[in-house]
Each structure stands twice: as C-alpha cells, then as structure tokens.
Structure 1
C-alpha cells in the first residue's frame, strides 16, 4: 500500500472541509494532509503587519510538512489552493514530488480582476460577508448541472462560505490579487502533474487547463463531466478516482 504524502489545499472562500467527500478513499492510499489556509477555517491569521502574500501562506504549508517530518509530498489544490501550490513550488521545489491542480490557472489576475478582488475585500471588512458573498459567487462557483440537480451541494457551499472569518476572506483576496504569473514555475517543475478541470467550470476556462498542461513537462489532463469550478464538492467520487488512478 502506498503511503505517499498528499497535501490538498482548499479553494476560496472555503476551508478544508471541502475535501470531506474525498478523504476516505484518498486516505486509503496516501498520507492525506488537508490544512486550513491562514485566516480561514480554524487557521489563525498572524498579525505581522506585512502585506498579504501567498508566499507567506506557502511558508505555513512548508512548516506543517516540517512538523509532520515530511521531506517531500505531492502538493495540490483547487482554485486558490492551486495558486498556493504554485507558491509552494516557487519557494521549495525540492519539497514537491508531484502536483495536482484542480480548477485553477497559472496566470496572474488581469487589472480588472485584481481591482474586483480588492473592492470585494474592502466591502467584506466594512460590512461582513454573510449571505451576499456566497450568493454573488454561486453562479460561477458550481456548474449548471449542480445548480439543477444537487441542491445539497449549493447548501454546503453557502454554509462553508458564511462560516469563514471576514478578515481571512479579505486577506486571501488581497493575497490572490498580488500573486505573480506562475507559468515559468510550471515549466521548471520536473515532476509528475495532474490537471483536473470541471467541464462546466465558468471561472477557469478549459484553455487555462490546456495552457498549464502545455507548460508542465510531465502532465496529465482529466475532465470531470457535470461539474464546475468546485469539482471536488460537486463530484467528489470522480475527482478522488482521478487522483487515485494517477497518484505516483
């Protein structure tokens, strides 16, 4: 039985509970680590005074690997978790034995997207986020099939979004807005990689997945039918099987 360490990093604006549907099958084959990212879920938001940066969140991931005595791990994530995976790869490529990218992209934000994130962060800190943030994002977080057929997933997404601390949401938005383009980082990643995309993902077009596969030296592309941007929540069985079939 494989005991490959596998780190999975959650999407925004959720926490590690988004992986609950995958935990049992993945844990049979891997040493599964699903941390909350700083300021979200149960993770604290350090008051360092520094500008929000995914590089600091990457330090959190590496510190947890140190605490667990893990030298190298397969590291992956969904959406923002994918951005954080790329930050880990930039900081410590020698710690990464494989990559899993789910519904994410390598490029930096456009000027418009960056401005929208910063405006949303300001609103969250000014008036909170419960209700409106989940509602505003729901149309693009999950796919049409989920909207039509999986009301329990919609309820779970709303629950997870509403549960997050406003300060953590604002920090994550500002950190994502400041992230660099990671295409060159992917080109230098000489490890096996898996790119998973929900076929109905409206936030990350399939062209973004293709671009990542083209940049990565050793990548496999998989599509999850009937799922959108949060494919691990929308169809956890398919995503878990895809990861297990690929896992080194």
Structure 2
C-alpha cells in the first residue's frame, strides 16, 4: 500500500471468514479522503493476538473500522492502544458475551465444514446473514462464496475459537473518547440494529447509521451508502475532534480553577464564599473525618465555621482531571497541608514554627449547574501526618 504524506490512514478490519473482498468496494470510494489498508485474520485463534498484529503492522495513529468480528478486534485494539486511534467505526458487530446457545451453534458449523467442506458454509452460514437483495445478487453471492471457500477448515476453527474466547468489551465502551460511528442494516438479523443502539448508549457522542435493506454483509451489499456514511464520519470526526479538544481544555481549566480557588478560600477562612463553591445539595467528606458525610451547602458552611481556629496552607500537586461529559468532571489532587496555631506570616515561618504537616488527597466530583461549575462532592483523605513540636 502506498501511503500519502498528507492523507490520514484508515485501517479496515475484516470479520469471520472474510478478507479484503468485504471492504474493497467501500475502500475504492474513500481514496480521496484516506489511505486505506484492509487487514484480515486467517491463521489467528485469539482476538488479542489479532489486535496486536494490527498494531505492529501499522505505524503511527490511524482511524479504525471493523466489520463483524473485525469490530470486536477494533475494540481490543482500542483497549490496548487508545492513544493511537483517532476515530472508530463499528459495523455489523456486537459486544455481548457468549450465550449458552452460541457455542453449540458454532460447533455445529465446524462439524459441518469438517464433514462436507467449506462450501457447506455458503448455505448454512452465509445465506442467513444476507439481505433478500443480497441473496438475489448472483455475482455478489458467487464472490462471497469464493471468499468463504478460500479459508481452510483449520482457519475457520481457529477464528471460532477466538470468538468463543473473546475478551469482554462492555466495560470498555464508556472509556471510548474518539468520534465513533456505529452502522447496521435493517435486515441484519445476526447483529441487529437494536444491538448497535445498546452500544450507542454507552459511547458518548457516538452516531448510529442504519442502512435500509442491508444485511450483515452491509459493506458488500450496499457499498455506496456504507462509503457515504464513512465519508461523513471521517469529515465530521475531524471537525468534532478539534472542537471537542478545545471544549475539554476549557472544562479542565474551569474545574481546576474551581478546585484551586476553593483551597485558597479555605486557607483564607472565607467560609461563605467557600460554601458557595458547592452545589445546593453538595456533599463533603473532610480529610480529618473521611467517613463522616456533611450534606447540603448550609451544613457544609456550618462545618467550616465551627472548626477550630488554625492557620493553614494547602499545597496542591499532581492535579488530574477526568472529564466524564460536558456537564461533569472528576478532579483528583494530592495535597500537602501545613497547619499551626496562631497567626503565621508565611509558609516558611509555619515550617520554622514546627507546624503539623499532613499529606493526603482531594477527589472532587464537579458538575455544571446552570452554566456554573460547582463541587457536587469532595472526598478528602489523609495518608501521612507529621506532628510538629513547639
């Protein structure tokens, strides 16, 4: 494959008993947008090994599209190296664990192939996955039958083994942060639209495209509309990536600013302003009492005003922000606290006065309420405590 220096890369992954033929008519329509590489998995018996093979054979960052079993491989690639994936497309695929009926059904297909040869799968496996339009396309059915028969029974058995022992991908979905396209066909009974709708619920910002009249082999049954969906995804993804990056940077800045501001108010004893940094129903677990729940802005204010009078200085380090969505983020901070009785003029004087030193952390659940970022929950903890003498 000749790779362009200016165009991004799109890696298309074939599914069970499929090769480049499953993608070639789609890929030919994307040559102006991306450099396409099609990869298949004859000889593999493990989905993680398939994923590692892709990562070792493709350089740099790339967009990733997986069809059927290839969609599961794509998810495994994202799990292994999310930093290399710029966008993700999952076509006619699933994330559900194996069912009680799946293994016997797959074993029957292996037995049939061993008994009658791979040609038997053209009727027992391929036909049930096709749309009515696809079945009536003699040229397409001939091509797909030849594709299936190009695999050996041994290769088929290995790929079935990989699917039966697939890693669970359900927990991964909520961590996917790149622009994601889901695609299914109205006549796909193997990986139906409802299956993709469930996946969409767990991937923030993902889009679902349904190809009317297409079955499980949608890239071959309707390559024009599949390519159209991918073109739209590739273009929108680039724009959304840029916008989302800027939005995330702004959210991160606003949330970290709130945390820093609240700590400054704490050290300055500006209790009302500090309480106003919390939501009306905010929750506080103070570092000195990490299991005692203080709930509500008024109760939080009381907990501050009733505390013993001490001079404090909090130093925040290792501040990390995990953006959940556009309305919520979690900020984790390491905290070094110097505390001493009586008025101190500076951090240096507090150290010289043998102030108590505490090392702990804050975990702040921050939410956007009416356009304002506020602390919904602060969990404090203390891991180390040095008692000063003097």
Report the TM-score, using the length of structure 1 for normalisation: 0.87
Q: Could you tell me whether the CA contact under 8 Å between 2:180 and 2:205 is conserved in 1?
A: yes
Q: Structure 2: 5+ residue runs without aligned partners? A: 238-390
Using a 3 Å threshold, how does the CA distance of structure 1 residues 202 and 102 change in structure 2: closer, same or farther? same
- Matched residue SS, 1:26: coil
Q: 1:235: how far off?
A: 0.7
Q: 1:175: how far off?
A: 0.3
Q: 1:189: how far off?
A: 0.6
Q: Which has the higher contact order (CA 8 A, sep 6+)?
A: 1
- Matched residue SS, 1:108: coil
Using a 3 Å threshold, how does the CA distance of structure 1 residues 61 and 73 change in structure 2: closer, same or farther? same
Q: Could you tell me whether the CA contact under 8 Å between 1:4 and 1:30 is conserved in 2?
A: yes
Q: 1:128: how far off?
A: 6.2
Q: 1:129: how far off?
A: 3.2
Give distance in 1, aligned partners of 2:108 and 2:124: 14
Q: Structure 1: 5+ residue runs without aligned partners? A: 40-44, 46-51
Q: Could you tell me whether the CA contact under 8 Å between 1:117 and 1:174 is conserved in 2?
A: no
Q: 1:122: how far off?
A: 5.0
Give the equivalent residue in structure 2 for 1:98. Answer: 87
Give yes or no for the alignment of 1:89 onto 2:78.
Answer: yes
The structure 1 residue matched to 2:210, chosen from 223, 237, 241, is 223
Give yes or no for the alignment of 1:164 onto 2:168.
Answer: no
Q: 1:111: how far off?
A: 2.0
Larger radius of gyration: 2
The structure 2 residue matched to 1:14, chosen from 15, 18, 43, is 18
Give distance in 1, aligned partners of 2:147 and 2:133: 20
Give yes or no for the alignment of 1:143 onto 2:131.
Answer: yes
- Matched residue SS, 1:107: coil
Structure with the largest fraction of strand: 2
The structure 1 residue matched to 2:200, chosen from 205, 213, 220, is 213
Q: 1:165: how far off?
A: 2.2
- Matched residue SS, 1:111: coil
Give the ranges of 4+ consecutive aligned residues of structure 1 lying more than 4 Å apart after TM superposition: none
Q: 1:119: how far off?
A: 4.2
After superposition, the CA RMSD in angstroms is: 1.8
Give the equivalent residue in structure 1 for 2:311. Answer: none
Residues 60-139 of structure 1 mapped to structure 2, 5 A cutoff? 60-65=53-58, 70-124=59-113, 126-127=114-115, 129-139=117-127
Report the TM-score, using the length of structure 2 for normalisation: 0.56
Structure with the largest fraction of helix: 1
